[in-house]
Amino acid sequence: MTPSLLCAASRPDGPPCRAPSGRVLALGAAFALAAAGAAPAGSPPGAPIGRSPAIPVETVVLANGLKVVVSRDPTAPVVAVAMAFGAGGRSEPRGRAGFAHLFERLMFEGSKHAPKGQFDRILESYGGDNNASTHEDFTIFYEVLPSNALPVALWLDADRLADLDLGKESLRNQVSVVKEERRMRVDNEPYGRLLHVDIASRAFSNWQNSHPVIGSAEDYDAVVLGAAEDFFKAYYAPRNGALAIVGDVDAVQALAWAREYFEWIPNRGEPAPADFAEPEPGPPPGGGPPCPPGATRPCATPSRWAWLADPHARLPAFAAAWGGLPERRTADYYALLLVGQALFDGKSSRLYQELVKRVQVAVSVQGGLGFPLVEDPLEYKAPGSLGGWVVHKAQSTPLRVKDLVMRQVSRIAERGVDAKELARLKTSLRSKWVRSQETCLGRARMLLTSALLDGDPAAVNGELERFMAVTPEDTRRAAARYLRPDNAVLFSVAPGGARPEDRSAVPRSPRGGK
């Protein structure tokens, strides 16, 4: 569709569509997109170790409450436009499990002036790309395209936010798609139920935190158009979202376009208030204080061990998760992220070296802060958890694996992570942090995460330095407080429905699973 046709299709009751200044040739667009992986310009030479260049940020809150963040990077003629809403899995009201993920798909079903299929076709005709993803605390949509086509992306996003084509047929089609997705990724995938359903359902007592982002067949079967419309109006309201524009743009012009395309869109509903509170970790065995110092909520029950059967798994697995963890941007949060990295992250982690390399009872180890709710620990938000899972050899008993895991956790709780290992962990984190800022899209995601989870997109600047300031004593204190054995929820998965040989050796909990 040409720019003139785009403008002809603009809303009669909204702002006119502005055509881009020129069309980028296909070769030029391809080159620009390839260049998007370049590092941001302006990195100061000889910057101190542990520091990353600050992301330039200009923020405006529109009259309707939409936060607009602009960050200029002239490295390549490319721009990333990302739009995120506080409509994650934890936001869903009871009886609407999976709605956040469902709307991730429905947002591509067409809008009033860009019918189904036109969103992709228009962006691709400008050399652009797009996608979306649903997370525990937000859903994000993005486009990456040549910077002179920025108005096109803004117009498309504004049109679907204002006039999403939400009808019975599109709803029925996408419900069918997400139900099939659940069957493929969860119900019929080895360890799928463990990772996406079982761990969270036992690690958390509050339904808001314990139900899976992928949703449930029961709630999908009960979906009606009216309920879907109500969810869209409440959670896809401007005041519940943020828009990031990052790349080779003029900040003043970008903000003016954002006002033109988005500020007129009304807020049509209000998200239902949700209580995410979880109990504090419980008392240690043998008595002691009822809760950790500073506790303000009831304490959790002692550890639970769930025995599960997985007909799709070929090897047994063990998992552990600790809940009741601290808020973001607290001293213990920064320490626990590095503790999770020490235990679970990569082949140099303690548990990989111990279980896979030295004792050779396991074949894989994964986990960290936020597990299993979030894949990226930097997206952690309380109430959260820290944990991981181990796929182990058939001849290794669950109790043996559990003892090896808990021994490593206890060592950190007793001694902390020593200075040499901590320096290595910080180097790894610093490397990942810098790499995440190499693209316009990476920076847009970081800014939106801070905007929605911290309330300030500029909060991302300075975060790396806080991680670099963590000391060995910080890791010891945080692990001792939160990663106690009695605060862990444990899981053993038998492949093919087999019964673990030493199952009877472990006291069963009333919530112990199948």
Q: What is the CATH number of the domain that holds 253?
A: 3.30.830.10
One domain for residues 255 and 329: no
Residues 492 and 389: their CA atoms lie apart, in Å, by 10
Domain boundary among the residues 262, 281, 315 is at 262
Domains: count for the chain: 2
Give pLDDT < 70 ranges for the chain: 1-51, 280-303, 497-514
- Which of 262, 295, 317 marks a domain boundary? 262
Give the domain-ending residue among 262, 279, 312.
Answer: 262
Is the C-alpha dihedral spanning 89, 93, 95, 101 positive or negative?
negative
Q: Is residue 143 part of a domain?
A: yes
What pLDDT does residue 497 have? 63
Same domain for 334 and 451, yes or no, is yes
Q: Could you give the strand order of the β-sheet that contains 386-392, starting from the edge strand earlier in sequence?
A: 304-310, 488-495, 317-322, 386-392, 362-369
Residues 316 and 236 in one domain: no
Same domain, 112 and 33: yes
68, 85, 94, 231, 244 from 271: Cα distances, Å: 20, 11, 13, 8, 22
Residues 329 and 384 in one domain: yes
Residue 286 forms part of a structural domain: no
pLDDT (0 to 100) of residue 498? 60
336 shares a domain with 231:
no
Contact 276, 383 (CB under 8 A): yes
Q: Say how many C-beta atoms besides its own lie within 10 A of residue 504's C-beta.
A: 9
Residues 311 and 229 in one domain: no
Neighbours of 432 (CB within 10 A): 13
Residues 327 and 213 in one domain: no
Domain enclosing residue 122, as ranges: 3-39+56-262
User: Does residue 202 lie in a domain region?
Assistant: yes
| Assigned token pair, 137 | 């605390």
Asked if 365 and 452 sit in the same domain, the reply is: yes
Spatial neighbors of 6 by CB under 8 A, at least 6 apart, are 17, 19, 122, 152, 155
Q: Tell me, yes or no, whether 389 lies in a domain.
A: yes
| Phi/psi at 499 (5° precision) | -100, 120
Task: Give dist(CA 480, CA 394) in Å, integer.
Answer: 32
Note the pLDDT tens digit of each residue in 240-296: 999 999 999 999 999 999 999 999 999 998 888 889 988 766 554 444 444 444 444
- Asked if residue 349 and residue 208 are part of one domain, the reply reads no
* Residue 449 and residue 349 share a domain: yes
Indicate whether 310 and 255 sit together in one domain: no
* Residue 273, domain member (yes or no): no
> What is the pTM assigned to this prediction?
0.84
On whether residue 280 sits in a domain, the answer given is no
CA distances from 59 to 88, 455, 457 (A): 23, 12, 8
Q: Which residues neighbour 102 within 8 Å (Cβ) at sequence distance 6 or greater?
A: 174, 175, 178, 215, 220, 223, 228
DSSP 317: E
- The residues near 116 (Cβ < 8 Å, ≥ 6 apart) are 109, 110, 165, 170
Using omega within 30 degrees of 0 as the cis cutoff, is the peptide bond preceding 372 cis?
Answer: yes
The answer to the question of residue 478 being in a domain is yes
Res 282: pLDDT: 56
In a domain, 272, yes or no: no
SS3 state at 304:
strand
